[in-house]
């Protein structure tokens, strides 16, 4: 597990945690590493989640069911991003998403509920990770707000331009981790309709793209 300490220290959850602290806190949180195959479901919709996960290798998608039976990917997690943190802390709450591996993926699982025990309050490493968890949860809430803003746009073009602008401002690599279907799911549209609109926008000189890389060429 120590081979991943450098990666984990780039995770918001372990910000400012040194090597000694990493060993200590991973032991306390009963951490273990597991590998899942492409397409394998890690958590089902409605599950009570005991373990949070941090992606060490690969990619997972958080998928929400729609009222019409269709499913959409609402978020991707790539190294060293996490999933299931809030539900791991509050284990009586059913998961609102299904988590599935998009490729062969290695995951570090953690029992974050142990951070809320009385004995953890006196541990400086547990206190640090708890503070990081609070900041990460706040950031996740802001990200959800940004997606709601994107989804509120009336046209595919406006949705895509707003999302590209948000990604540029945040210097995020989330977009490059998405394939075309995942981007369509995030924007709440059909892949074919998104591809047609992107082709028109490229012809008009608004954007350029190559595979998963998309950039804005014009502010208009």
For the stretch 125-145, pLDDT in tens is 999 999 999 999 998 888 889
User: What's the pLDDT at 171?
Assistant: 60
Given a cut of 70, is residue 146 above it in pLDDT?
yes
How far is it, in rounded angstroms, from Cα 133 to Cα 22? 15
- The answer to whether residue 74 scores a pLDDT higher than 80 is no
Q: DSSP alpha helices (H): ranges in 57-190?
A: 85-89, 124-151, 156-170, 180-187
| Furthest CA-CA distance within the chain | 61
The pTM for the full model equals 0.76
Is it the case that residue 113 has pLDDT exceeding 80?
yes
**Is the pLDDT confidence value at 173 over 60?**
no
Which tokens in the block code for residue 38? Answer: 């492409």
What per-residue confidence (pLDDT) applies to 220?
A: 47
Q: What 3-state DSSP class applies to 48?
A: strand
Residues 181, 191 contacting (CB under 8 angstroms): yes
What is the share, in percent, of the chain residues with pLDDT greater than 70? 93
């Amino acid at each position: 597990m120590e081979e991943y300490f450098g990666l984990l220290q780039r995770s918001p959850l372990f910000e400012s945690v040194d090597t000694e602290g990493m060993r200590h806190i991973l032991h306390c949180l009963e951490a273990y590493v597991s590998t899942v195959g492409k397409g394998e479901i890690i958590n089902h919709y409605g599950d009570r989640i005991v373990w949070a996960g941090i992606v060490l290798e690969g990619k997972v998608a958080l998928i929400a069911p729609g009222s019409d039976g269709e499913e959409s990917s609402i978020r991707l997690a790539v190294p060293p991003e996490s999933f299931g943190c809030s539900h791991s802390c509050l284990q009586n709450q059913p998961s609102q998403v299904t988590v599935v591996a998009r490729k062969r993926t290695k995951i570090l699982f953690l029992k974050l509920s142990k951070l809320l025990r009385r004995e953890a309050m006196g541990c400086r490493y547990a206190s640090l990770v708890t503070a990081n968890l609070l900041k990460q949860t706040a950031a996740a809430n802001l990200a959800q707000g940004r997606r709601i803003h994107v989804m509120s746009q009336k046209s595919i073009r406006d949705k895509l331009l707003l999302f590209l602008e948000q990604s540029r401002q945040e210097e995020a690599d989330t977009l490059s981790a998405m394939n075309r279907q995942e981007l369509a799911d995030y924007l709440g549209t059909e892949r074919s309709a998104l591809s047609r609109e992107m082709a028109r926008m490229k012809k008009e000189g608004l954007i350029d793209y190559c595979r998963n890389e998309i950039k804005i060429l014009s502010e208009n």
